[in-house]
Chains A and B, each alone.
Chain A
Amino acid sequence: MELSIDRLTKHYGHKIAVDRVSATLTPGVYGLLGANGAGKTTLMRMLCSILEPTSGEVRLNGKDVAGMGAAYRDVLGYLPQDFGYYPTYTAAEFLSYIAALKGIPRDWAGKRVKDLLDTLDLTPVADKKIRTFSGGMKQRVGVAQALLNDPQILILDEPTSGLDPKERVRLRNLLSEYAGDKIVILSTHIVSDVEAIADQVFVMNAGQFIMRGTVPELAQKVAGKVWELTVPREKARLWQEQVTVANYRHEGEQVVLRILSDDRPSAEAVACEPILDDAYLYYFGAKEA
């Protein structure tokens, strides 16, 4: 299976939301990383065929998905960023409804709904109305509906938003396990989510992929540019104003700063092994990120 994105572009009047983006995706987990407004959601909506591109196309195994209609939607699972639900439905009813919309046979749908409720730890609240759920629980219902038809292409827009750390880890594990021979694309601005599970990461800015590669490859792009410097607490703020500080950690009366800089910022600074966070911050700058 191959999902190709060919010079995909979306204009809103004079504003360019996505600008000639191209990629070829084969089974695996893909992380789409970018600040708010980078174009991630627009790209995902075009991948789902919800939004018509201004130009370019998305092809599944060589076929333009715009012309595939139901055949494409049959292999697609999507969690929108602003996941909507019917407040008066219970989790089980909502999933059954979406299962019917996805054309899943009734007997299989019942079993699938039960399994997913179990997998996403929603069984105890399966018969409670969704409007009574916490943000994290609603998000899990959203993930469950995306997985209902066992999609070959799973697109999740900000799936970890609203989840507590335990739920995030559980979801990451679930997606890793699920991927196998499927294409999973998840967008986020939380670097650690991508770092943990993505086989490939696309970093987006101003509607374009500005970086792509595996997590170590991207991290290596800032090799030799990550430093740790221990300074007295009163000088920490001064350093923050002068350089990009990726992390700020107290150690007694001292503060350990993780600094991103092309040159060694101080004779006392020690070079560090870079991580994806560093690369992301280096290219976006602390403020933009």
Chain B
Amino acid sequence: MELFALEHKRLWRTPRVLICVALCFFYLIIYTGVISFQWTYFGSQGDDPTNLYSNTPNGYSMIRTYKARADQYGEYWTDETLQNLVKDFQTMIPHTSLSSMYDWTVGLNALKLYEELTDNEQQQYQPLIHYVDTEDLTDFYTRRQDYLEHNLKVNQQNMLLTDEDVEMLREMDSHVKTPWRYEWTRGWEKTLTGTLPMLSRMAPYLAIALGFLFSGEWHNSTAPLLHTTKYGWKKLARVKVLSGFAFAVEFYALIAGGTVLLQLIYLGTDGWDMPIQMLKIIAVAPWNMLQAELYELAFAFLGVIGYTGIVMLMSALVKNNVLSLVLSLAFVYVPDLFARYIPMWAQDAMQFIPMVGYPTDIFRMNIFHIFGKGIWLPWMTITIPVLIGVVCIPFAIRSWARRERA
């Protein structure tokens, strides 16, 4: 225990590690967090709509304004809600820009169900929301069901889903209760499709912080010294692995905790019980926003643990710090570079590499088949990365211990 405490303390005191943590904190909490919430994403739009930095840094108060406006539409999403929202939008549009609207994304999403109302004759293209007659926006839930069935059928015809898959997805969808709870959605959209998926950007910082865990002993020339101590390399390897994981958990807690704290400060908890279908109407998971957030936090956490395992293995396999770092980063970035040149099955498999997949798969209908059994993709993308990391550990310890005697 004492050795673990000392090793862990040593890791945290390494300047490289501290710089990594500080940079990651700045990037994910300050830059893509505070600055985004207060200025570029929620701040009211400036003169140049293509430049987010021309926005006014008044995100905190704007969010409160948006929320107050959304509250006018009632607690549940009905045809009337959609009609009122679109009506208000059409009234406001001459006076303001689209992105300054309080809940335009939910309106645009919902209007996907009314494509037949699109005016294909219009001379200058405008989205349906600008001109649709709100009286025509009826039967939302029936239309949504038809839209879902249509998509299921198309996927089935394209051999992307089997009959069993379709049944499974229908069964999931049957648990989505209607009418849907409604609150202002843009905050949750930002959280579930923006800030939480961004946690996978911790990968390079983790690689730099932990890539030298084992290989660094060669760099410091401490390897012969460590070998002649009573506990030897094998026990030290276990301690290093444990402190590596402890560091990863603490690093994650700092960044994810900071992200959640920002969310609470800026967005509050309102709308936690809205179904995720408010963000993507065709999603089938019977989850509310809070459940989705917990999934995404778990996804990021297990990804961090899985990637930590890979980084430690790379560090134990090679004696060179730079090579260890390059190999660790290659796991995350090389698949992306070659994605378009490899077969589809390999592309599918790549999303199971820790920190490579997307937590937003919860909005999708993909089913994976293992030994003939269909499994909803998000369950795979959350478990396989951590398993990969765990499998790496015995190899890391073995590889390090094998070098005990040159």
Contacts and interface: CB of A to CB of B under 8 A. Distances in A.
Interface hub of B15, B220, B228, B405 (most chain A Cβ within 10 A): B228
B15 A88 contact: yes
Given A50-B406, A106-B2, A74 B230 contact: yes
Interface in B109-155: none
B51 interface: no
Residue from B10, B15, B222 whose CB has the most chain A CB atoms within 10 Å: B222
B46 interface: no
A272 interface: no
A70 B225 contact: no
A266 B10 CA distance: 66
Interface stretch (A77-85, A162-170, A182-190, A205-213): A77-85
Given A100-B2, A101-B3, A101-B236, A48 B228 contact: yes
Interface string A49-89: 11110000000000000000110011011101011111111
A98 interface: yes
**Tier of interface size on chain B:** 20 to 34
A78 B3 contact: no
Interface in B359-406: 405-406
B220 A88 contact: no
Nearest to B217: A84
B158 interface: no
B20 to A, nearest CB: 15
A78 B224 contact: yes
Given A51-B406, A52-B406, A98 B231 contact: no
Nearest to B13: A88
A102 B406 contact: no
Contacts of B220: 84-87
A103 B230 contact: yes
Given A49-B405, A51-B406, A83-B221, A70 B228 contact: no
A149 interface: yes
B228 A78 contact: yes
B225 A73 contact: no
A45 interface: yes
B405 A51 contact: yes
B319 interface: no
A73 B232 CA distance: 8
B157 interface: no
B226 interface: yes
A48 B224 CA distance: 9
A97 interface: yes
A225 B217 CA distance: 49
B405 A101 contact: no
Contacts of A100: 2-3, 6
Contact of B405 (A52, A80, A83): A52
Interface in B220-244: 220-232, 236
A69 B229 CA distance: 10
B14 interface: yes
Nearest to A48: B228
A76 B228 contact: yes
Interface string A88-121: 1100010011101111001000000000000000
A85 B228 contact: no
Contacts of B10: 86, 88-89, 97
A160 interface: no
A150 to B, nearest CB: 12
B231 A70 contact: yes
B225 A98 contact: yes
Interface in A201-248: none
B14 A101 contact: no
B230 A96 contact: no
A265 B264 CA distance: 95
B224 A102 contact: no
Contacts of A73: 228-232
Interface in B8-60: 10, 13-15
Given A84-B220, A88-B15, A102-B231, A145 B225 contact: yes
B232 A80 contact: no
B221 A70 contact: no
B62 to A, nearest CB: 45
A208 B262 CA distance: 70
Contact of A84 (B7, B222, B406): B222
24 contacts: A48-B227, A49-B227, A49-B228, A52-B406, A73-B228, A73-B230, A78-B228, A80-B224, A82-B221, A84-B217, A84-B220, A85-B222, A86-B10, A86-B220, A87-B220, A88-B10, A97-B7, A98-B229, A100-B3, A101-B226, A101-B230, A102-B230, A103-B229, A145-B225
Interface of B: 2-3, 6-7, 10, 13-15, 217, 220-232, 236, 405-406
Given A51-B405, A84-B222, A93-B6, 20 more contacts: A45-B224, A48-B227, A51-B406, A70-B230, A70-B231, A73-B231, A74-B230, A77-B228, A78-B224, A80-B221, A85-B222, A86-B222, A87-B220, A88-B10, A89-B10, A101-B226, A102-B231, A103-B231, A106-B2, A149-B230
A-B pairs, top 7 by smallest CB distance, nearest first, are A84-B221, A84-B222, A101-B229, A78-B228, A103-B230, A100-B3, A80-B224
Interface of A: 45, 48-52, 69-70, 73-74, 76-78, 80, 82-89, 93, 96-98, 100-103, 106, 145, 149
